[in-house]
């Protein structure tokens, strides 16, 4: 699995994820640091990367566009440093590896990890 780490996460994640066997790049090394979210998503989709971010806008973008990819992992915690989240993130990556290859929005926080299969479609209200 190839992971694209968004600008709002530390480049330290590259070494952390690489040590666990995943290919990882930080957006600052492959693209314009001021690029828009759709640009980053397009880059990841074209190259079959999973976007790893702290930005909730990526989930919103997936929902609004009904896109089937790329997969996005979003962390929802105050502390997003590898020293704090490494165990939670690597466990989620291992647990949901097959789903991430198919297209999902994976949300990780201190308590749990949740998956939404892509494309995200509106649910019918009762």
Pick out the chain residues at pLDDT < 70. 123-126
Q: What is the pLDDT of residue 126?
A: 44
Kind of pairing, strands 50-53 and 2-5?
parallel
Q: What is the pLDDT of residue 123?
A: 63
80-87: long-range pairs with CB below 8 Å, 24+? 80/8, 80/9, 80/10, 80/54, 81/10, 81/12, 82/10, 82/12, 82/13, 82/16, 86/16
pLDDT tens-digit series, residues 47-78: 999 999 999 999 999 999 999 999 999 999 99
Q: Tell me how long the chain is.
A: 126
Q: Where are the domains of the chain?
A: 2-117
CB half-sphere exposure, 40, CA atoms < 13 A? 28
C-alpha 125: how far from chain center: 28
């Amino acid at each position: 699995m190839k992971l694209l780490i968004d600008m709002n996460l530390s480049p330290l994640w590259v070494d952390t994820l690489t040590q666990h066997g995943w290919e990882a790049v930080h957006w600052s090394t492959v693209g314009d640091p001021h690029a828009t979210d759709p640009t980053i998503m397009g880059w990841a989709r074209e190259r079959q990367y999973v976007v790893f971010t702290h930005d909730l806008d990526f989930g919103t973008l997936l929902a609004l566009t009904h896109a089937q990819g790329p997969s996005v992992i979003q962390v929802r915690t105050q502390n997003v440093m590898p020293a704090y989240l490494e165990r939670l993130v690597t466990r989620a990556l291992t647990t949901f590896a097959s789903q991430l290859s198919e297209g999902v929005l994976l949300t990780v926080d201190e308590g749990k990890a949740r998956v939404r299969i892509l494309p995200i479609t509106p649910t019918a209200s009762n």
